[in-house]
Structure formats: C-alpha cells, structure tokens
Chains A and B, each alone.
Chain A
C-alpha cells in the first residue's frame, strides 16, 4: 500500500492547467510510488526550536518537500544510492580556450567571473584538470565553466573545483535554413558606396 499523498499540495484552481508545480492531477496520473516526507518541525512563533539533526527521508533526498511541487515524485529504485555531497559555490568562472599546447598539455584561457565584479583575466591551465570525457572538446574557442566551491561531505568541508566544458547540440537542418534566410534578407540591405575620385 503506497504511503499517503501529502496534503500540503498547492491547491490549483480548477480552471488552471497543470503548472510546473506538481499539481494534484500530475500526482494522480503518474503511476509512481509516492514518497512522503513530513516536515515535523514547525519554526518560529512559539514552536520549540528543532535545531537538532533534521529528519531525513528514508531515501536520502536532495530535495526539500516543496521541490516536489516543482517536480514529480522521484522514483528511487535502490535505497543504497550514493550520498550526495552538498556544495556552496564560491566563484564561477566562464572560460574560453585561446590556445592549446598539446605537447606541454597546457591550454591558455580567458576567464570571466560570473559572481562579483572581478575583471576578466587570462591564465594557463594544465590539461590534467580537464576530465577524460571532455578532452576532445578542448580547442580554441571552446567554452568551459570553472566552479570553485566548498563541499560538505560526511561532515567535513573541503575546498574543491570542477571544470566542465560546454556542450552544444549539433546544428539542425531548420536552424541552418534560418541562417540562410537571414543572409538573403540582409543582402537586400547592402548598398555600395560611390568610388572616390
């Protein structure tokens, strides 16, 4: 027998279509095991502050209850899922590869900070910092994200970083057709200048 459906769903007005909140309709329609996690600790007012260890789902869940309002229930087939570390981002750099020296296994990059007002910088990064699966993406012009963050795992905090290359899907036929439509349209604007004497 599945656990009871939580009763704290956002009440959707009858004439409103399903939103990207989890609505009653979505939940009923999906033939999935529904997880129930009740937040037993009220906070503020006269409630006893429950500042001890929170009650977790029996499934280790990244998501707080309202998150299920934004997404349907997650089916977790195996309770022995790897524990997911929590991360607090300190800085995010958007980088672009300028040059690659394959012999020295180094790439020259430009870096733009996404947080705060640090001006752009250039640097060299050894290719060892690029994951194996991203190596074939390293070429001049390629964009990557360098995230510097603090990770809390098993109660301890470590400073670490992640370098991930941007992956864009391939051109579709329709997109290429639109490019050429643009070109034809822009051609009609081009006007020659008279020759100077």
Chain B
C-alpha cells in the first residue's frame, strides 16, 4: 500500500504558439468543457485576466494560465481524471496550434512522523560527508535545498529519445516536518505525418495515454524514495 500524500496535485504544461486571448471561461463553457457555474465563478474573481499577452482564470478545481509560448493547467483540490479530460478538451479546440513539448507534472507533500525521519530522507539521498569536510565550521549547517534527478531512456550520455523524467525533492513549505516531491514527465512533440496528426493532436494523445500512468509512477516513486531512505538508516 503506497503512502498517501497529504497534498497532491498536477499540472499539465504545453509549449507552443498560443493566442492567449481566446482562452477564456466563456470559450470553455461554449464548448461544454466547463459548466456555467464554473465559468461565472472564474469571471467573478479578481484574478481573472484575458488579454493578447496573457490569460489567467481559475475555478474551484483548476487554474489556467496561457502566455504566447506556454499553456499551463494546474489542478486544485482533489485530483481526478476530469483534470486530464479538461486539458485534452482545451487542446482539441486548437488542433492546429503548433506544440513542441508537453509536461505532465505531479507534486506531493508528505508529512513525516518526526524530525528524525524528516532528516533521514535528506541524509540518505544527499550524503553530507563531503560537504561537511568543505564546510566544517561550527556555524555551518548543511541541508538539502533542492535535489533533482533526471531519468532518460538509453545509456548514459546517449539518450534514445528526448523524452525524460525529472524528480525533485525539497522541504515542504506548506506543511511542517514534511517533504515536497515533484515529478515531471517531459515529452517532445512532433506532428505525425503517417497518421495525419497535428502536433496538438499528438499532445492530446500523449496526455490521454500517459497522464494516469505518470500519476501512478509519481506516487510509486515518491513512496519508494521515502520508504527506501527510511529503511536505509533503520
């Protein structure tokens, strides 16, 4: 049974060439991707911006920000596949938008039971001995600010694809005695001429095919890192 994160969310990011002005609550409602209540609520918030350079709006379960070269959808509250459906739905409304990459991101905050466990994870994943030699003064204290690992496919230095994963670990700034883990599943996107799919349609395909499995993998990795680190020193 995997550890349940205390807070868990997702963001889906696409790089490409967007027209922020069209990404509005009314547009999503008109295309039946969100309901009337969500659209009204988004427009009522003072954070609502729609312009040629940037659009931003949010509802109770997602926020979206679009600039000319990037589309971002962030989840809020409990995460469900409806979030994935929304991302796919929005991109399907702009099938001719050139998209060069998609990132499927998952973030979790995990409360640790006590200070000792909280420190154990950092000690195991980022051993301090070399750092302590370099900063051996009484007033020097060493801790992990941010640790990021990159997982590529293929032998080291010879990746077989530009797709890759990055996993980061930090101290949580939201919960006391907690760790923050982030998982990025990055996909380079090109149009598929054999199947007559535009790059936006390929991006939709990646989100459809990989979002749930990436989420499962993120939870597996987050749990695995914490569990293995705690077992190492016990």
A binds B: yes
Known A-B contacts A8-B146, A172-B95, A174-B95; A49 and B74 likewise in contact (beta carbons under 8 Å): no
- Closest residue to A84 on the B side, CB-wise? B76
Measured as residues with beta carbon below 8 angstroms from the partner, the interface class of chain A is 35 or more
- Docked complex Cα distance between A64 and B110 (Å): 13
B105 CB to nearest A CB, Å: 4
B173 CB to nearest A CB, Å: 5
**CB of B115 within 8 Å of the partner chain:** yes
User: Count of chain B residues with Cβ under 8 Å from any Cβ of A?
Assistant: 89
Q: Is the CB of B37 within 8 A of A45?
A: no
Q: Is the CB of B118 within 8 A of A70?
A: no
B78 CB contact (under 8 Å) in A31, A45, A87: A87
Q: Tell me the A131-168 residues at the B interface (CB within 8 Å).
A: 131-134, 145, 147, 149, 151-152, 162, 164-168
**CB of A42 within 8 Å of the partner chain:** yes
- Docked complex Cα distance between A80 and B47 (Å): 10
Q: Tell me the B41-93 residues at the A interface (CB within 8 Å).
A: 45-47, 49, 53-54, 56, 61, 63, 65, 67, 69-70, 72, 74, 76-82, 85-86, 88-89, 92-93
Q: Tell me the A46-64 residues at the B interface (CB within 8 Å).
A: 46-56, 62-64
- Docked complex Cα distance between A19 and B70 (Å): 10
**CB of A30 within 8 Å of the partner chain:** yes
A119 CB to nearest B CB, Å: 18
Q: Is the CB of B102 within 8 A of A47?
A: no
Binds B, one of A71-79, A98-106, A121-129: A71-79
**CB of B177 within 8 Å of the partner chain:** yes
- Closest residue to A89 on the B side, CB-wise? B78
B213 CB to nearest A CB, Å: 12
**CB of A85 within 8 Å of the partner chain:** yes
Q: Is the CB of A31 within 8 A of B144?
A: no
B38 CB to nearest A CB, Å: 7
Residues of B contacting A170 in the complex (Cβ-Cβ under 8 angstroms): 31-32
- Docked complex Cα distance between A5 and B118 (Å): 29
- Docked complex Cα distance between A110 and B49 (Å): 40
Residues of B contacting A10 in the complex (Cβ-Cβ under 8 angstroms): 148
- Closest residue to A56 on the B side, CB-wise? B173
Residues of B contacting A162 in the complex (Cβ-Cβ under 8 angstroms): 61, 77-78, 80
Q: Is the CB of B142 within 8 A of A75?
A: no
Residues of B contacting A30 in the complex (Cβ-Cβ under 8 angstroms): 54, 67
Q: Is the CB of A75 within 8 A of B56?
A: yes
**CB of A197 within 8 Å of the partner chain:** no
Q: Is the CB of A78 within 8 A of B46?
A: yes
Q: Is the CB of B173 within 8 A of A54?
A: yes
**Complex interface bits, B1-34 against A, C-beta within 8 A gives 1, otherwise 0:** 0001111110101110000000000000001111
Known A-B contacts A20-B101, A169-B93; A47 and B143 likewise in contact (beta carbons under 8 Å): yes
Q: Is the CB of A178 within 8 A of B196?
A: yes
Q: Is the CB of A67 within 8 A of B32?
A: no
- Docked complex Cα distance between A172 and B91 (Å): 12
Residues of A contacting B179 in the complex (Cβ-Cβ under 8 angstroms): 43
- Closest residue to B37 on the A side, CB-wise? A133
A39 CB contact (under 8 Å) in B14, B95, B170: B170
What 13 new A-B contacts, CB under 8 Å, besides A67-B182, A71-B13, A169-B89?
A: A18-B15, A19-B15, A20-B101, A39-B145, A39-B170, A46-B140, A64-B172, A72-B67, A74-B63, A75-B56, A87-B79, A166-B81, A178-B196
> Can you name 14 A-B pairs with beta carbons within 8 Å?
A26-B70, A44-B123, A49-B119, A54-B175, A64-B182, A67-B105, A69-B182, A78-B47, A81-B47, A86-B6, A167-B86, A167-B89, A168-B89, A178-B196
Residues of chain B at the chain A interface (Cβ within 8 Å): 4-9, 11, 13-15, 31-38, 45-47, 49, 53-54, 56, 61, 63, 65, 67, 69-70, 72, 74, 76-82, 85-86, 88-89, 92-93, 95, 100-103, 105, 107, 109, 115, 118-123, 126, 128, 131-132, 140-146, 148, 166, 168, 170-177, 179-180, 182, 184, 186, 196
